[in-house]
Amino acid sequence: MEQPLKGIRIVELGHVIAGPLAATLLADFGAEVTKIENPRGGDMMRDLGPRAKDDGLGVWWKTLARNKSILALDWKTPEGRKILRKLVEDSDVLVENFRPGVLERAGIGPDVLHEWNPALIILRISGYGQDGPMVKTPAFGRAAEAMSGLAHLTGYTDGPPMHPGFPAADSTTGLMGAFGIMLALHAREKDDGKGQVIDLAVFEGLMRLIDYHVPVATGTDLSPKRNGLRQPMDFAPGGMFCTNDGIWVTVSAGSAETARRLLRASGGDAFADDPRFATMAGISANMGEVFEALKTFIGARDFATVQAEFEKNDAVAAKVLSVEDILEHPQIAHRGDIVTVPDEQTKVVAPVPQLSKTPGKVRWLGRPEGANSREILQELGLTTDEVDALVASGVVGLAKPTGGRS
């Protein structure tokens, strides 16, 4: 059976993480993505982070550009603009994450793009959106983490705000961007067949996923703050604790019944049956005492003992896994969550979610600059001589392909 997005064509003008990730998530499920890079430099993600030992390509690039055909094209030149137009006329989606106004100044704003292709869906990702008082303010992912409230809520109670250990803003934006594209494709299918613009600010995806902080601040007299190793707002017993053999575990309970099992495991019957802990509200009001009891109980035992005690009480103590642990974990291996690609040493995370009839697939990893330029242009009707002339003029870049398109 064909992949669910086979036949959906995407032109990607995105760079770094947010825009490219949106296209990657859809490419995993069959969308045909043509990534356009400047022939004089390419996407900066090629050079960020460590490089693969086998071919020297950046490992981050390998996963962000997987399943994509690579075209090195200076689309701001008259010749490049003609090629871009041909691609757009035959595509369903265009993805860009430049600063607001870049496309307009280049003469290819949404009005022009929709003249070329009225059915085109345009995903526009920017730091703060395409309008408003901050429209011209420079932005990057970490700034969005600050703007969204995430950094304020991350860290220890008496410590500074912190960023998470991965590019949360850009990654969340990529996910929201892919979601927005799917919504727009569905709307186009059931309505008038016309495309639309998706205006996505990087900080907004984080705000939507944090979610609880705005209703707490507006619907109660409380103010969400950093809570260290404890649960946000102490809404449930739990947190992060270290066993006496140096293994970190996280524990949590989402209901009063589960919470009492957790308290019974850590403090015995008398502690669990204390009337102060009869409800989640009561537990939350006395969370300092609960947290210290859990910390003492877990800190005095090795991981195997803690796990056994919690399992006996039908409570959960989950080991915090390192990346090395993840690579060897039997459940992750059983699910096929890490995949090997032919002729590649670098492994990557498999497509998510797992569809029973039309699953995603990693067909290839990120390729060298211009790897597919010639074949893409010839598919558009250009002759070999015309492609060679564009290469000679610097409008197009070529590189030795690592494999054919599929």
Distance CA 125, CA 123 (A): 6
Distance CA 310, CA 94 (A): 50
Instruction: Note if the bond before 351 is cis, omega within 30 degrees.
Output: no
**Cβ-based neighbour number of residue 322 at 10 Å:** 10
Read off the amino acid at residue 153: L
Tell me the catalytic residues. Answer: 170
Read off the amino acid at residue 315: A
Q: Report the Cα 94 to chain-centroid distance in Å.
A: 18
What stretches of 29-155 show up as alpha helix (H) in DSSP?
59-64, 78-89, 102-105, 110-116, 141-148, 150-153
What stretches of 154-222 show up as alpha helix (H) in DSSP?
168-190, 202-210, 213-219
DSSP states of 254-279: SSHHHHHHHHHHHHHHHHHT-GGGSS
Which position has the token pair 């550009």?
A: 65
Tokens of 203: 């900080």
Select from 13, 181, 11, 205 the least CA-distant residue to 97: 13
